[in-house]
């Protein structure tokens, strides 16, 4: 992909990720936040957190299935936007729902399991956001960074559980998100299995091939010696 196309793609992703926030601000300015504005804003930001989180998790499976490299360049941007929406979502709960009442907040986290897993997802997102820079990758080392960033799937599971737990039974939306997450995870597991099998094959074949070459050259040497 050319540099120009990459820039265009990134601008498009920025626009798509900022559009829900602009739309929310517009609705707030035009007093169009429904009968319970706090709940509306919390749910709006929560929905977009989950969508962007799943979009960032979809980038590696896209590369695996289509063999394209550009989705990987968008993974970090989408992940950081998901974290920004999660922080705003949490901020609304902190400021508008509980007015900085720490005791009440602690009780809410302990009492309502959906808040506990939501909080867990946000806490797990923090080290990933903090290590998203090129300098952090260099400092951690590629392998450690990769290991740490596998947490993204645990965050996805917590995000989906959070929604499954809080939604009414008749609401099908959390099941759609759960299905998408399960598919993305299945693609990763399938790819991991495929790579492991091919590594085991090459590891098994390589020593056999080396032994074969050695025995052939030994035979050739013996034949040479027999002729002379």
- Residues of this chain that bind ligand HEM (CB under 6 A): 39, 42-43, 46-47, 49-50, 53, 86, 89-90, 93, 115, 118-119, 121-122, 155, 159, 162-163, 166-167
Q: How far apart are the first and last CA of the chain?
A: 61
Question: Tokens standing for 190?
Answer: 């399938």
**Nearest approach, Cβ of residue 152 and ligand HEM (Å):** 11
**Nearest approach, Cβ of residue 136 and ligand HEM (Å):** 20
Considering the complex, state which of residue 89 and residue 149 has its C-beta at the smaller distance from ligand HEM. 89
Question: Tokens standing for 44?
Answer: 């709006």
Considering the complex, state which of residue 112 and residue 201 has its C-beta at the smaller distance from ligand HEM. 112
C-alpha torsion sign, points 79, 81, 82, 84: positive
Considering the complex, state which of residue 21 and residue 64 has its C-beta at the smaller distance from ligand HEM. 21
Give the three-class secondary structure for 159. Answer: helix
Considering the complex, state which of residue 50 and residue 62 has its C-beta at the smaller distance from ligand HEM. 50
**Nearest approach, Cβ of residue 67 and ligand HEM (Å):** 30
What is the DSSP secondary-structure string of 61-119?
Answer: HHHHHH--SHHHHHHHHHHHHHHHHHHHHHHHIIIIITTT-HHHHHHHHHH-HHHHHHH
* CB-closest chain residue to ligand HEM: 46
């Amino acid at each position: 992909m050319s540099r120009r196309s990459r820039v265009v793609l990134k601008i498009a992703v920025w626009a798509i990720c900022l559009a829900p926030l602009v739309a929310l601000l517009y609705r707030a300015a035009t007093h169009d936040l429904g009968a319970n504005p706090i709940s509306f804003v919390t749910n709006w930001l929560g929905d977009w957190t989950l969508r962007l989180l799943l979009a960032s998790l979809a980038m590696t499976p896209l590369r695996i299935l289509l063999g394209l490299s550009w989705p990987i360049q968008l993974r970090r941007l989408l992940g950081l936007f998901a974290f920004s929406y999660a922080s705003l979502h949490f901020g609304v709960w902190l400021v508008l729902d509980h007015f900085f009442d720490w005791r009440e907040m602690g009780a809410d986290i302990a009492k309502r399991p959906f808040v506990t897993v939501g909080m867990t997802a946000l806490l797990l997102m923090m080290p990933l956001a903090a290590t998203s820079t090129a300098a952090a990758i260099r400092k951690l080392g590629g392998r450690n960074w990769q290991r740490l960033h596998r947490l993204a799937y645990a965050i996805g599971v917590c995000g989906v559980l959070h929604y499954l737990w809080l939604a009414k039974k008749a609401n099908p939306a959390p099941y759609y998100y759960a299905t998408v997450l399960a598919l993305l995870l299945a693609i990763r597991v399938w790819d991991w299995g495929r790579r492991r099998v091919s590594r085991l094959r090459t590891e098994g074949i390589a020593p056999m091939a080396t032994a074969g070459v050695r025995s052939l050259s030994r035979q050739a040497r013996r034949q040479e010696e027999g002729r002379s």
